[in-house]
Amino acid sequence: MSAASPAAITRRHVVDHLTALESEGIHIFREAAAVFERPALLFSGGKDSIVLLRLAEKAFRPARFPFPILHVDTGHNFPEALAFRDRRVAELGEELIVASVQESIDRGRVREEPGHDPSRNRLQTVTLLDAVVEHGFDALFGGGRRDEEKARAKERIFSHRDAFGQWDPRNQRPELWSLYNGRIRKGEQMRVFPISNWTELDVWQYIAAERLEVPSIYFAHRREVVKRDGMWLAVGDHVHPRDDEEVATRTVRYRTVGDMSCTGAVDSRARTLDEVIAEVAAARITERGATRADDAFSEAAMEDRKREGYF
């Protein structure tokens, strides 16, 4: 190294963007694990939480994760995502806790929303907060990204929640350098977002680079769908075509894995990771805009749900 010019030495020590993002994510995981008593990692079987699990492996292996994995099961999940969840958790040998929205309904904690094929998206906030209390979680790792939505764009990496699980966007703690303030009072919690700075494209590039498995619904496949609210919804147990709706069989894939009742499929021919990356790189519509009915309500839909304790 003594022979190298100073410029050559420093060039060699600039890392590419995926390495920088990965290292930041590992650092965040270790910080949160160190300062919180009882964290949990939210895993849905979706691509963002798949990346979270890999970052957790990178942060803590060869030891076990210092937290359990938590899944909020709305009862409206894609079966492919549930099967993947169980397989992945078994492979990791980590503890999985499932909090069920159906149980919250059965216990009278929440009521199914009225209307045709109701979404359970809002209900899951109650199930989540009940699970937090039941298990005494003081921090939850989530796969939220700031590029997803404009309220998220302002959210901190360590995002404080009061004793009611609520986010106060106007009263957030400043976050400087990479010094995260994890101090909370009893009953309060923190949401921790290790991939805040990743974009949808970063996530796919990382999945490809790490050769991570993802549920099959992320790749193009033939499926019966029905057009509703401008989106292709999968016909099945949670989406029943109305008389005026026409069922079509199309080649589609999912850009995001949410509830079957409110997650739209996109027309796609992408059958491999590289094809997905090419498609995402060329996409002209945001991930949420293309696929989530829940954000279409109002300009501040996400902000309002987050205030209530939503992820």
Partner 1 sequence: MDNRKTDDRAPTPGRLLPASEMLRFSTAGSVDDGKSTLIGRLLHDSKGIFEDQLVALERASRRRGTAGIDLALLTDGLRAEREQGITIDVAYRYFATPRRKFIIADTPGHLQYTRNMVTGASTADLSIVLVDARQGMLEQTRRHIVIAALLRVPHLVAAINKMDLVGYDEIVFRAIASEVSAFAGKLGLGEVTCIPISAVHGANVVEPSSEMPWYAGPPLLEHLESVELESAHDLRHVRFPVQWVIRAAAAADRDERSYAGRVEGGILRPGDPVVALPSGIATTIRAIETYDGPIAEAFPPLSVAVRLADDVDLGRGMMLVAPDDAPRARRELDALACWLDETPFAPGRRYWLAHTTRHVRAVAIEVVHRLNINTLERDPTAGSLGPNDVGRVRLALAEPIFGDPYRINRSTGSAILIDEATNATAGAILLLEDGEVWP
Q: What does the block give as tokens for 57? A: 């492996």
Amino acid present at 226? V
Smallest gap from residue 116 Cβ to partner 1 (A): 25
Binder of partner 1 out of 107, 116, 150, 242 (CB under 8 A): 150
Q: Does 147 bind partner 1 (CB under 8 A)?
A: yes
Binder of partner 1 out of 3, 211, 229, 246 (CB under 8 A): 211
C-alpha span between 26 and 57 (Å, rounded): 9
Amino acid present at 302? M
C-alpha span between 103 and 127 (Å, rounded): 8
Task: Tell me the CA distances in angstroms from 70 to 128, 174, 261, 297, one per residue in order.
Answer: 9, 28, 21, 28
Return the number of the residue (15 or 248) whose C-beta is nearest partner 1: 15
Residues 6+ apart with CB under 8 A from 177: none
Smallest gap from residue 283 Cβ to partner 1 (A): 7
Smallest gap from residue 132 Cβ to partner 1 (A): 19
Q: What DSSP string runs through 123-167? A: HHHHHHHHHHHHHT-SEEE----TTS-TTGGG--SEEEE-TT---
52-81 positions binding partner 1, by CB under 8 A: 57-63
Report the alpha-carbon angle 230-235-240, nearest 5: 90
Which range touches partner 1 (CB under 8 A), out of 24-32, 40-48, 84-92, 96-104? 24-32
240-299 positions binding partner 1, by CB under 8 A: 273-274, 277-278, 280-286, 289-290, 299
Instruction: Report which of 213, 176, 175, 177 is spatially closest to residue 89, judged by C-alpha positions.
Output: 213
Strand order in the sheet with 158-161: 96-100, 69-73, 39-42, 139-141, 189-192, 158-161
Q: Does 178 bind partner 1 (CB under 8 A)?
A: yes
Which range touches partner 1 (CB under 8 A), out of 23-31, 73-81, 122-130, 132-140? 23-31
Q: Does 3 bind partner 1 (CB under 8 A)?
A: no
Q: Which helix (H) or strand (E) holds 250?
A: strand 247-253
Interaction mask 91-130, partner 1, x per CB under 8 A:
----------------------------------------
Which range touches partner 1 (CB under 8 A), out of 40-48, 90-98, 102-110, 199-207? 199-207
Q: Report yes or no: 252 and 291 within 8 Å, Cβ to Cβ.
A: no
Binder of partner 1 out of 5, 179, 229, 246 (CB under 8 A): 179
Smallest gap from residue 197 Cβ to partner 1 (A): 6
Return the number of the residue (97 or 277) whose C-beta is nearest partner 1: 277
Smallest gap from residue 2 Cβ to partner 1 (A): 13
Which range touches partner 1 (CB under 8 A), out of 81-89, 178-186, 233-241, 249-257? 178-186
Q: What does the block give as tokens for 191? A: 């949401």
Q: Does 177 bind partner 1 (CB under 8 A)?
A: yes
